Structure 1
Amino acid sequence: MCCQQCMKLEQLIEFIEENCKGIPKGVIFDCDGVLVDSVEANMAFYNAIRKKLGLPELNAEQREYCQMSTAAQALEHITPEPLREQMHIAVREISYARDIEPMIQASENLVPLLKALSGKFLLGIHTNRTGPIDYMLERLEMGGYFDPIMTVRYCEPKPSPDGAVKILSKWGLEPHQVLFIGDSSMDMQTARAAKIPFLSYRNDSIIDYGTCCDFALLEKALLSFIEE
């Protein structure tokens, strides 16, 4: 999939060099929509809840909100207040691990990117997921690449910069030395609040200079900075 404003290799290298003031040392990834292709899996979960409550499937506005928010925020947003108690019962009746997670797959060319960057760049995750994601990462051959993994267990949810700032602190890096890759306006707000250069992934509606649509292209761009 390619966006209208998809950057070419030369544009991507120029963007990284200009915004990171030279060679970047770390990359922060959003999870859903960036590391993993999880949109339809997550929507299946929320629609299953709504079906149990006798509600229609999510509309476009609700889908967008659910993809950017924490699970708790999303469930509250899509459930009318009189049905909240029934909603909690419905959530307990659905097994996310059994019924939903097998639908989630790694984004295209992502695993080769991680293998190429490992040991050369610091890699971290900043996600609005609540629970641990280690099992999912292991299943998708992404285990062991990321440190730290910031979920809302350890920081305020995006768009607060709290998680991004904590990653910078752990790495001992300045904001300009890191690249934040996300696919939503919430990711962009988070990065900007933390003063970290932001790269849009497959979403040309949230940025005016272009977006990256191919992790193989990003691999070439980042590795160009460390070639002898």
Structure 2
Amino acid sequence: MSAGEALASQADFSCLDMPRPRGLGAVQARLVDRIKRVALQRLHRSVRGERLLLRIYLAGEDATERALLDELLPQSPPWLERQVERHLADEQRHVTLFAAALGERGGEGTARLEPDWLSRRKILRWQRLARRYAGHFEHGLLVPAYATGLCAEQMAQRVLSRHCAVIGAEHGLYPLLSQVLADEKAHVRLCQGTLQRIVAPHETVHLARLLKDIRRVDASFGVTGALAMYLAGWVLGGGRGAIR
């Protein structure tokens, strides 16, 4: 083992794991989870509600695909390119699957969807963090890009786990959501492994601060996003029954 590899093996990368909320953060997390569970139950009562959920997923997957193409692939070293391409293939497959499910429910699955206003604001704040922290890393913006990607994948894992738990294995959308969930778990491991390779041991303190700030931004939109989803559930949760 080289000296560099020895140092890397001793570096503390515990910041890559999703931290357990504490104090007011834990209260907020429980509140957001409870509100979103109720909203999901309500939205699944109608085809319109399910179309909204699928559009949200479709927009998220489409945004991830564009980020991989525009941000990660151009600045990835050769050894990372194949990994990014595999990740991109997964996201493109997810787009196809969500578009098909949306089409089955009478929605337009071919149009390119933009993230909602709250998501766009969150992305802008993440981009500002990336520019602020890039100078702390030898690999520059690649590290904030993967750090943001890790947090986004961890968020997707949390969202999909909740959704699967709410609808249960008998629901028609469960196979799709559980399949995407399995991929997102793999993507979390992929991002963690990549960050361990591209972040030098002496840079881990900056990585920990960056991840903390990224997660703080995500949490700051939690209650607002949950309430918006709850309102949508009441608006769209009636009418013609959803596909089972």
TM-score normalised by structure 2 residue count:
0.26
Q: Which has the higher helix share?
A: 2
Q: Which has the larger radius of gyration?
A: 2
Give 1 or 2: higher strand fraction.
Answer: 1
Higher RCO (CA 8 Å, separation ≥ 6 residues): 2
